[in-house]
Structures are given as structure tokens and as C-alpha cells.
Amino acid sequence: MKSTAGARRRQSVAIDLAPMIDCVFILLIFFIVTSVFVEDPGIEVERPDTRGEAITDRNALLIAISADDGIYFDGQRIRLDQVASALSQASFSDDATVIIRADRRSSHGIFAGVYGEAKRAGLANVQFATARLGAGSP
């Protein structure tokens, strides 16, 4: 009798890991699908210099205004009258942040127009991007 009891204790227990791996993959796919990525407006602009705090929002909507007063959103050039509809379609809520990157040589009127259209789209948090001044600059 003693030998059969010892044999029972020595049997290894096999754990099936397939259900756990399935759950991990489903969670991974869920997080990838629901994550929000910041999309670059498609052009590089020379931002004006200023002092201030750097505010970054990973879920921000970016609009760029080039030196020739072109407006770019999501890698494509758009007209001023398309800004409000593009922003309202791309935003998930009224709390979304819009960051306007305007080139220092762009006209103030285009910047004001883009700012107004972003407000008209119902987005309350509209900011503009600037470059930081160096430590030795005035």
C-alpha cells in the first residue's frame, strides 16, 4: 500500500497554458486597437521662440501652418473652411486638445482663422506650439 500512495504523490501536475495565452493575446489586441496615437500634421514648421512651460498631450490633434500659409492636418493640405469639420471628425470628445504649429513666417490672419475654426468645432482647449529660447537668450 505504501508504494501506491508514494506513486500518487510523485505524479506531476500538468497545467494547460493555452487558455491563459489566449487571454493575453486578446488583451494585447484590445489595447492596441483602443490606443490613440498622435498623428503629425505632415510638415515641419519653424516655430516662434518664447519662454514658458512645455505642455504635452499625447492625444492632441495637431494642425500645422506653413510659411506659405498652407494649413496641414493629418498629412494633407486643407482649406480654412475645412478645419472645423476635420477637427470635429477627428476628436473623440470636447475635451480634446488642439495644438496649432504655425511657422514664424506665416500670416497672423491665417493663424487667427485656424484658431477660430478650432473653437467653432466645439473644442475648448486650443493651444499653439512654440520653440524654447536658449538659456543665454534674452
Domain membership of residue 44 (yes or no) is no
Please answer whether residues 36 and 59 qualify as being in contact, where contact means their C-beta atoms are separated by less than 8 angstroms.
Answer: yes
* Confidence at residue 51, expressed as pLDDT on a 0 to 100 scale: 54
User: pLDDT tens-digit profile of 46-93?
Assistant: 665 555 455 555 567 888 898 898 999 888 899 989 888 888 888 777
Percent of the residues in the chain that have a pLDDT greater than 90, as a whole number: 12
Over residues 124-138, mean pLDDT: 63
Using the predicted structure, report yes or no on whether residue 100 has a pLDDT greater than 50.
yes
* Confidence at residue 22, expressed as pLDDT on a 0 to 100 scale: 94
Domain membership of residue 15 (yes or no) is no
Please answer whether residues 42 and 64 qualify as being in contact, where contact means their C-beta atoms are separated by less than 8 angstroms.
Answer: yes
Domain membership of residue 119 (yes or no) is yes
Over residues 29-46, mean pLDDT: 72
Domain membership of residue 102 (yes or no) is yes
* Confidence at residue 127, expressed as pLDDT on a 0 to 100 scale: 84
Domain membership of residue 11 (yes or no) is no
Domain membership of residue 84 (yes or no) is yes
Range of the domain at 53: 49-132
Domain membership of residue 97 (yes or no) is yes
Please answer whether residues 100 and 125 qualify as being in contact, where contact means their C-beta atoms are separated by less than 8 angstroms.
Answer: no
Residue 111's CATH number: 3.30.420.270
Domain membership of residue 21 (yes or no) is no
* Confidence at residue 135, expressed as pLDDT on a 0 to 100 scale: 41
How many domains does the chain divide into?
Answer: 1
